[in-house]
Amino acid sequence: MSARYDIIVAGLGPGGAAAAMTLARAGARVLALDGSGGREKPCGGCLSLRGVLAVESLSPCPWLRDCPVATLWLSGPGLPAGRYPTSEAGVYFVERPRLDRWLAQEARQSGVAVLPAKLRAIEADGHGWRARTSAGDFEADWLIGADGAHSLVARGLGLGGGGWLYVGLVEERPMPPRLAPLLGGTALLELGGAPGGYGWAFGRGQTLNLGMAGRRELLGRMGGLRRCYGRFLRRLGLGEPGRLRGAVIPCPDGGVRRYYRGRAAVVGDAAGLADPFLGEGVAQAVVSGHMAARAIVAGDLGRYQRALAETLLRDHHNARRLSRLIYGWPRLALRAAAARPGAIELGWRILRGQTRPGDLWKVVPRRLVGLRHGLDHAAASYYSLASS
């Protein structure tokens, strides 16, 4: 006979950890399947303040704000560059493997049973689920698929789906001493050199995180992402690519999707919920994991679908518009940033969770004709999980 739990969470990245922790703290018996096998997730390690707030509302993390980003440096091949300092950080650099380990540890301390095992198949079992795993079979009333971009749960149940796909490449190197003064605490984003995306250089202390993300459907246009990335490095004087790691970043494309079926739901990358403008996905995984867990506690996963529609999915609709505009017209975007640094401040506000992307379409036209804007200051408070 297989062991029975209230909920099985497949995958223990940020989405799975947030869901498992929330459910265990509500008194549920939770089994989390950690199928990572110790592999580290490829990541830029860039966490917006809204993401920091989401993680902190799960559990205060003492080191999460250690590396604030003080300057945004926007550039483009042959295009005007600009450096934009901020006095109030909107983004933090974090060591991603450390964050994942810490979240998994917090989940264990909340009472989650963590099993290093891979989900191999799911079967409906009476009113619940049977999970066939590399460590045996387990049963539960509820199932959460937090098993990343190639989610077995999402495929098996026909859920989620990020039709707007970025492909991301990343590597980390020791910070070259000559670049430390320029890139320390700085997020360099290069527009126009990646197909429908951007290249980045993030100076996190003694480490330089370098990468590029491009829209999968556009990769053929510029000779492939690796080539674009190689050119980006040469423009920075950084030689040839090092040990690159890559993965897809699934974002919603605006199509009608289901995020739950019966007593099963998908969250984070498994649901395809990363932000289609920046490819940011940690905050969105935590928020969606928490929302799905709250809906299970209430016994109604329909609440999860509705909550997503009002929050992440609405914001992602506007993030797609921004993405088309800014990556499609990099020269215009860089010129606009230089001419009106207020636009950069609006970007920081979004990343701090103070403004929703949709507000841009209200604010920018009003500013252009000299009118004051009326921003909703509690705008994206759903990132502070108490309200979601």
Minimal distance, residue 120 CB to ligand FAD, in Å: 7
Phi-psi region of 193 (alpha: psi -120 to 50; beta: other; left: phi over 0): alpha
Pick 10 or 363: Cβ nearer ligand FAD: 10
Minimal distance, residue 367 CB to ligand FAD, in Å: 29
Minimal distance, residue 272 CB to ligand FAD, in Å: 10
Distances from the Cα of 30 to the Cα of 49, 141, 286, angstroms: 29, 10, 17
Minimal distance, residue 362 CB to ligand FAD, in Å: 26
CA 361/CA 188 separation, integer angstroms: 25
**Phi/psi at 107 (5° precision):** -65, -45
Query: Radius of gyration over alpha carbons of the chain, in Å?
Result: 21
Minimal distance, residue 85 CB to ligand FAD, in Å: 20
Q: Does residue 225 contact residue 169 with C-beta atoms inside 8 Å?
A: yes
Minimal distance, residue 147 CB to ligand FAD, in Å: 4
Pick 140 or 363: Cβ nearer ligand FAD: 140
| Position closest to ligand FAD via CB | 281
> Which residues, 6 or more positions from 385, have their beta carbon under 8 angstroms from its beta carbon?
54, 57, 58, 286, 287, 290
Minimal distance, residue 251 CB to ligand FAD, in Å: 9
Pick 79 or 201: Cβ nearer ligand FAD: 201
- Spell out where 135-279 has E strands: 136-145, 164-174, 186-191, 198-204, 207-215, 245-251, 260-261, 264-266
Residue 225 parent element (H or E):
helix 225-235
Pick 233 or 363: Cβ nearer ligand FAD: 233
The number of beta carbons lying within 10 Å of the beta carbon of residue 269 is 32
Minimal distance, residue 132 CB to ligand FAD, in Å: 10
CA 382/CA 283 separation, integer angstroms: 11
Pick 23 or 283: Cβ nearer ligand FAD: 283
Continuous H helices in 41-148:
49-58, 96-109
Pick 46 or 322: Cβ nearer ligand FAD: 46
Residues that bind ligand FAD (CB under 6 A): 10-16, 33, 35-36, 41-47, 51, 118-119, 146-148, 152, 168, 170, 211, 247, 249, 268-270, 274, 279-283, 285
Residue 331 parent element (H or E):
helix 330-339
Pick 79 or 175: Cβ nearer ligand FAD: 175
The number of beta carbons lying within 10 Å of the beta carbon of residue 38 is 7
Pick 19 or 79: Cβ nearer ligand FAD: 19
